[in-house]
Amino acid sequence: MKLKVYGNNGSEEENNTCFKLDNYLIDVPRNIFKAFDKQELNNIEKIFLTHVHPDHYGGFNDILLRIPINKKIKLYTANDIASSVRKMTDPILYFIENDGNIRHYRFEDKIDFVELKENEYLIENEYKIEIKKTKHFVPTIALKITHNGKTFAYSSDTIFDPELIGFLADADFIVHEASGGVGHTDIKNLESLSDSFKEKLYIAHFPKNIQTSLKKLERKIYTI
Ligand SMILES: [Zn+2]
């Protein structure tokens, strides 16, 4: 798999944490027009949303308004997160029809929702997709995506949670937040993990001045 990192940290000026794993976009930064070039933007069809905080969801409505009238976005997330997206997108789903009339579309007209459930997995085009709910302010999911025998894992936003570490541990490439503060993970907790976990670990959503021996996820393309 190819992991393209558009954003790796918690800075408001940058793209926060946003990745593309093959054709799957994972979270949507606030300023999509800065994050993606036009070609990339037009090719976005499949989006994983880990939660609806603005630094992970902020550009979603912009993408929705850009897609051609007869196309849909495929949205992969948990049911409670999709319910929030439904509420937040409804007021903007107005499009001009071919006859020039403006029509209010429904969530289902523009979004193909694929429900992800904890303790179950989804197989799509030889990608195995698993989630685990994290402990954050709002409903949030961590992800594990396996393809060709390799697994990418992403904590999304969470407090440090040994159970979640257990869920992520069998992956080959693990991205974990290290934002610190309430509702997030302190870098000290990640530094105390086993060497075998830390070898596969890349920290993201970190404060700019963070001091650590752990690897920082960089804004580049990784092969997993
Ligand atoms: Zn958050």
What's the topology of domain 2-223?
Metallo-beta-lactamase; Chain A (3.60.15)
Give the pLDDT band (50/70/90) at residue 81.
Answer: very high
Q: What residues contact 54, with CB distance under 8 A and at least 6 apart? A: 30
Question: How far apart are the CA of 53 and the centre of ligand 1, in A?
Answer: 5
- What gap in Å lies between CA 148 and CA 163, rounded to an integer? 26
CA of 136 to the centre of ligand 1 (A): 7
pLDDT tens, position by position, 3-34 = 999 988 877 667 788 999 999 999 998 888 88
Token pair in block for residue 198: 């830390």
d(CA 177, ligand 1 centre) in Å: 10
Q: Please report, for residues 16, 90, 102, 162, the alpha-carbon distance to residue 184 in angstroms, rounded to integers and kept in the order given.
A: 14, 30, 43, 13
Tell me the pLDDT of the chain averaged across its residues: 94
Q: Determine if the pTM surpasses 0.85.
A: yes
Q: Judging by DSSP bridges, how do beta strands 73-77 and 111-115 pair with one another?
A: parallel
Exposure class string for 177-189: b at 16+ Cβ within 10 A, else e: bbbbeeebbebeb
CA of 21 to the centre of ligand 1 (A): 20
pLDDT tens-digit readout, 186-198: 999 999 999 999 9
Q: Per-domain residue ranges for the chain?
A: 2-223
Query: How far is the C-alpha of 187 from the C-alpha of 210, rounded, in Å?
Result: 9
